[in-house]
Structure 1
Amino acid sequence: MPPELPVLIVATRNAHKTQEIREMIGDRYKVLDVNDFPALPAIDETGTTFLENATLKAAGISREVTGLILSDDSGLEVDALGGAPGVWSSSYGGEEGNHPKNNARLMAEMAGKTDRAARFRCTMVLAQGGQVLAYFSGTVEGRILEAPYGAGGFGYDPLFAPEGHTQSFAELGPEVKNALSHRGRALAKVIAWLEARD
């Protein structure tokens, strides 16, 4: 029998985020998330930076569950909006996790703006037993499109074209997105750290 895969628990209830991480991790780990542990408390994301929120989630969940915890806090930074929506990306439209409302507000805020430069930023934290083991970050530069394109991905993907591409993340498909994305870049550093530790 093949050996049991080690378990990596992602500190999120966002199934899209977990699936992206699962695809990028491949067969190195069995990837679970907090949906697999219904009794876990919600962690209040009271930080003002991606690192603060990622640390709160990783450390908080690692106090409740035995094993290796990976958290991810990420968002979109738009230069013409002074870095907004930033840490508040998932609630920018006024309702947590409502992607259509978030995208509608972003399009409204960007109407008539010529500076379309933006980036996705991701911070990941590994924790175990309430202790932070390490943290990692990744960014991808790009621009905000005039209208949404594509049906893939999630969040702001239909409005964001990564540098060097004319298509949005929602059009490019998961393989291309995962190779280019902020999450992919941060996770590559996580995997390298885990492999060096083994």
Structure 2
Amino acid sequence: MEVIFASQNPNKIKEVKAILASLPVNIVSLHDLNFDEELEETGSTFQENAFLKAKFIYERYQRPVFADDSGLIIPALGGQPGVHSARYSGLHGDYQSNNSLVLEKMKDVTDRRAYFLTVICYFDSKGMVHYFQGRLDGAIAMAPSGTNGFGYDPLFYLPALDKTLGQTPETKKNELSHRYRALREFTDFLKKEVI
């Protein structure tokens, strides 16, 4: 079975392929399809953004496709950066600037609880839509630490491990991340319904 992953983020593609490696599913990226258009992310929720991306690619290729939208939610900042996580500082994918802005806004905040959320939208071969979700709870560190992962990983502290995701080896991160949890729901669905 072949499924398109509607993402242009090479870090996400690598992570997803690693997590789904044990399935008898061929994950095709947008890069594999020579697709280089901008995908719409104008929704006000992660679910809306995942839907918009998956729908666009499904309508274009008429093949099973999934898309995710993920972000960091900090309750003390009113849920920011939320759906704007990738472009929080104004530039899409500027991880260092995004992390700096979070630290600046959190400098006098004592409630440092935060969580990552991933929502996956899957269009099956008949165009039916299915959603899957994963969440990882933690806190915002006082300073970035570690070079593993991407995005907010150096700031996201996991009390149970006493380290940030940026300090966590990739294989361990792939076993506990918000994206892993959403993908686990998705793979359980695929195993029962499709494969």
1:79 aligns with 2:75: yes
Shift of 1:130: 8.3
1:62 aligns with 2:58: yes
1:34 aligns with 2:30: yes
Q: 2:12 aligns with which of 6, 13, 17?
A: 17
Partner in structure 2 of residue 137 of structure 1: 133
Shift of 1:15: 0.6
Q: How many aligned positions are there?
A: 193
Shift of 1:40: 5.5
1:177 aligns with 2:173: yes
Equivalent position SS for 1:36: coil
Letter paired with 2:20: I
- The RMSD of aligned alpha carbons is 1.4
CA distance in 1, matches of 2:94, 2:179: 20
Shift of 1:87: 0.3
Letter paired with 2:95: H
Partner in structure 2 of residue 3 of structure 1: none
CA distance in 1, matches of 2:94, 2:15: 19
Structure 1-normalised TM-score? 0.93
1:67-118 per-residue CA deviation (whole Å, 9 max, x = no partner) reads: 2211010000011101100000000011011111101101111112111000
Q: 1:151 aligns with which of 147, 153, 158?
A: 147
CA distance in 2, matches of 1:52, 1:132: 16
Is the alpha carbon distance of 1:85 and 1:132 closer, same or farther for their aligned partners in structure 2, counting shifts above 3 Å? farther
Q: 2:100 aligns with which of 104, 112, 121?
A: 104
Letter paired with 2:56: G
Shift of 1:175: 1.5
Letter paired with 2:15: E
Is the alpha carbon distance of 1:88 and 1:38 closer, same or farther for their aligned partners in structure 2, counting shifts above 3 Å? same
CA distance in 2, matches of 1:98, 1:104: 10
Equivalent position SS for 1:35: coil
Equivalent position SS for 1:97: coil
Identity of aligned residues (%): 35
Is the alpha carbon distance of 1:91 and 1:132 closer, same or farther for their aligned partners in structure 2, counting shifts above 3 Å? farther
Shift of 1:38: 2.2
Structure 2-normalised TM-score? 0.94
Equivalent position SS for 1:63: helix
Equivalent position SS for 2:80: coil
Q: Which shows bigger deviation, 28-37 or 154-163?
A: 28-37
Shift of 1:66: 3.7
